[in-house]
Amino acid sequence: MTGSERDGDGNVGGDNDGDVRADGGDPFASVGGNIERKQRLGRVFVGICFASTLVGIVALVALIGDVLYEAWGWVTLDFLTYPPSRFIENYYPGGRGAGIYPALIGSILLIALTAVFTMFIGVGAAIYLEEYAAESRLKSFIEANIANLAGVPSIVYGLLGLAVFVRAVGFGESLLAGALTLTLLILPIVIVSAQEALRAVPDSQREAAYGVGATDWEVVRDVVLPAALPGIMTGTILSLSRAIGETAPLIMVGAATSMFVAPVREVSGVPVPDLFGSFAAMPMQIFDWARLPEAEFQHVAAAGIVVLLTVLLLMNVTAILIRNKYETR
Amino acid sequence: MPEDTPTDDDVTAPTPRRNTAPTATDGPRRTEGSLRTDGGQVAETTPSIQEIPETDTVIEAKDLTVHYGDVQALQPVNVRLPEREVTAIIGPSGCGKSTFLRCLNRMNDMVDAARVGGELRFRGKNVYDEDVDPVALRRRVGMVFQKPNPFPKSIYDNVAYGLKIQGFDGDMDARVEEALRGAALWEEVKGQLDSSGLDLSGGQQQRLCIARAIAPDPEVILMDEPASALDPVATAKVEDLIDELAAQYTVVIVTHNMQQAARISDKTAVFLTGGKLVEFGDTDRIFENPENQRVEDYITGKFG
């Protein structure tokens, strides 16, 4: 614009002198009439969604609150370090000491073993399916089956574990058989979540590596896996959180309801997991307490639940920490 | 008058990038659908040391075709790409120009449905022969992509990656510096080699990707619309860089920006809809006096 186009008031162009035209009426009066009704409907919808969210939170808070209330005063250091007892007096503070120790160690070892197996098998399968297998009917068939396996009830995996690992392979009612059974149980979920993590790595990253002459293996090792690792770890640890609470498959493979020693052996002074020994796990120990006749055992069971939930929460925190650590790189 | 918003087209005026010497022994060259000669232009230019005889063709396509499933993405392509020159590939969207580029380093191998026919000779050897490992080919033919795609690693590790996997055991620091200088990025990043490549601006990231591509010292650099995601200033820097790279490397660049092709290339290949290479020749001639009417229509903006 040049100066000559300005009018006397210094306004640019036009003869409007900058006044806002106001003819008194609502400028939006002629816009369809049902906007208000639609907005009200929208608010109702938001309200329903919010209420749905509350159900989850309220249920969780009620559950944890109830358990904590029941267990208050029963979770002691002795509870963590002594084997269980049939006599309620032993659980009282100042008693001879009784608790969840063998089942706690059993569950931790069980989950550690399961973690090792699922990481290798699950991540391996996911890498093969995502990075190597060509699109084919066979691949779709396998993927559909893996998705279906994720929905199979855990008791069925227990039966499989009993038939295969306990009987056929001959591991007996051992820690190893239990861990392998739990591995089968969570493997479909781990594979699917790892596949999703791998799929989330942009192709441009793969192309960048191929472009400088990387082999398939180098692309997976240097580019794809590091980028997908946080997602893979998160999925795996969340699956393990599910496994640690499983009871049904462990009943089938014959885990003891109550063990008085942890599944640990001393090998020249160093404690090592007894892979082929029998073991107890926390969910079964809790179930055992809950069915005892004395009312006080309900408090002991609640204390067991608190320990189980604590281990579970620690695992979830680990998952979050791992994710954050690798994502900020 | 108010200033026009600058576009990447008018950052630098379209000037011929250097003394484009048509190859001396240019005989009749067969390209798809047209038979033409460059001979007439030879007399106008004095032969220089940089002049490359026809025998120094780096890449030659012979009836090269690509199918994606049942769809033919590339009609038989016959073309020779000269050494140490910039060849631009232009054409409307979906004309097969990126498909052709990705044949040159067998990047199409990654697409399950893609089938390649005919021959693509790299220094005389058909790279689609059974005994050619695409990994070996890609070590000779580097690539820069449309969107900057640095690894989420340090600037140093980004540049060094190609060298590392290719088993380079010499002075890594020197090679990294050389590559970053070659990509006109050294002065900007020399103090922060340990910081992430993702912290750089878009234009810097693309030059980092160019440094990564040239670090292992390939012979050919393929560029797939390398400036299309960049702002005008960054585009100008990348274009200047391509100009410098041509002294040492053979550059093949796909661009949808015709002014860019005119500015930076020695040779131009025009693909038109249907995956057909319609015309190939010296950039100046293609832009001033195309033989094919449809190429002229495309270049003058009548379609595309």
pLDDT in tens, A80-121: 888 888 877 777 777 778 888 888 988 888 898 999 999 999
Q: How confident is the model at residue A65, as a pLDDT? A: 93
Per-residue tokens: B165: 């996997």
HEC-encoded secondary structure of chain B: CCCCCCCHHHCCCCCCCCCCCCCCCCCCEEECCEEECCHHHHCCCCCCCCCCCHHHEEEEEEEEEEEECCEEEEEEEEEEEECCCEEEEECCCCCCHHHHHHHHCCHHHHCCCEEEEEEEEECCEECCCCCCCHHHHHHHEEEECCCCCCCCCEHHHHHHHHHHHCCCCCCHHHHHHHHHHHCCCHHHHHHHCCCEHHHCCHHHHHHHHHHHHHCCCCCEEEEECCCCCCCHHHHHHHHHHHHHHCCCCEEEEECCCHHHHHHHCCEEEEEECCCEEEEEEEHHHHHHCCCCHHHHHHHCCCCC
Whether residue B37 has pLDDT greater than 70: no
pLDDT band at A77 (very low <50, low <70, confident <90, very high): confident
Q: How confident is the model at residue B141, as a pLDDT? A: 94
Using CA of residue A159, residue A161, residue A166, residue A170, what is the dihedral sign?
positive
Residue B207 maps to a domain: yes
Whether residue B273 has pLDDT greater than 50: yes
Instruction: Identify the residue with better confidence: B103 or A255.
Output: B103
Instruction: Identify the residue with better confidence: B105 or B12.
Output: B105
Per-residue tokens: A86: 């049939």
pLDDT band at A206 (very low <50, low <70, confident <90, very high): very high
Burial tier of B27 (Cβ tally within 10 Å: 0-12, 13-18, 19+): exposed
Helix (H, G, I), strand (E, B) or coil at A280: strand
Q: How confident is the model at residue B3, as a pLDDT? A: 44
pLDDT in tens, B205-262: 999 999 999 999 999 999 999 988 888 888 998 899 999 999 999 999 999 888 899 9
Q: What is the mean pLDDT of residues B255-282?
A: 91
Residue B29 maps to a domain: no
Least Cα separation, residue A215 to chain B (angstroms): 6
Per-residue tokens: B27: 């005989």
- Lowest mean pLDDT segment, chosen from A42-56, A279-293, B27-41, B135-149: B27-41
Q: What is the DSSP string of A251-274?
A: HHTT-BS--SS-SEEEETTEEEE-
Instruction: Identify the residue with better confidence: A322 or A286.
Output: A286
* Phi and psi at residue A68, to the nearest 5°: -60, -40
What one-character DSSP code corresponds to residue A165? I
Q: Do B149 and A209 touch (CB under 8 A)?
A: no
B165: chain A residues, CB-CB within 8 Å: 212-215, 218, 222
Residue B237 maps to a domain: yes
A207: chain B residues, CB-CB within 8 Å: 107, 110, 143, 145, 149
pLDDT band at A16 (very low <50, low <70, confident <90, very high): low
CATH code where residue B286 lies: 3.40.50.300
Q: Do B110 and A135 touch (CB under 8 A)?
A: no
* Other C-beta atoms lying within 10 Å of the C-beta of residue A257: 17
Q: What is the mean pLDDT of residues B268-293?
A: 90
Express the helix, strand and coil content of chain A in percent, nearest 5 each. Answer: 65, 5, 30
Whether residue B46 has pLDDT greater than 50: no
Beta bridge partners of B119: B62
Q: How confident is the model at residue A324, as a pLDDT? A: 82
Per-residue tokens: A77: 């250091």
Whether residue B264 has pLDDT greater than 70: yes
CA distance A72 to B165: 59
- Lowest mean pLDDT segment, chosen from A51-60, A88-97, B36-45, B190-199: B36-45
Residue B11 maps to a domain: no
B143: chain A residues, CB-CB within 8 Å: 207, 211
Which of A207, A214, A218 faces B145 most closely, judged by CB atoms? A207
Domain that holds residue B105: 83-110+132-299
pLDDT in tens, B99-131: 999 999 999 888 878 899 999 999 988 999 989
Q: Do A213 and B162 touch (CB under 8 A)?
A: yes
Q: Which residue has the tokens 């498909």?
A: B99
Q: Quote the number of domains for chain B.
A: 1
Residue B73 maps to a domain: no
CB B136 within 8 A of CB B127: no
Q: Do B216 and A218 touch (CB under 8 A)?
A: no
Using CA of residue A36, residue A42, residue A45, residue A47, what is the dihedral sign?
negative
- A202-216 exposure pattern, b = at least 16 Cβ within 10 A, e = fewer: eeebbbbbbbbbbee
What one-character DSSP code corresponds to residue A221? I
Q: How confident is the model at residue A134, as a pLDDT? A: 83
Residue B160 maps to a domain: yes
A223: chain B residues, CB-CB within 8 Å: 151
Instruction: Identify the residue with better confidence: B112 or A210.
Output: A210
Residue B120 maps to a domain: no
Q: Do A213 and B136 touch (CB under 8 A)?
A: yes
Q: How confident is the model at residue A267, as a pLDDT? A: 74
Q: Do A134 and B112 touch (CB under 8 A)?
A: yes
Whether residue A292 has pLDDT greater than 90: no
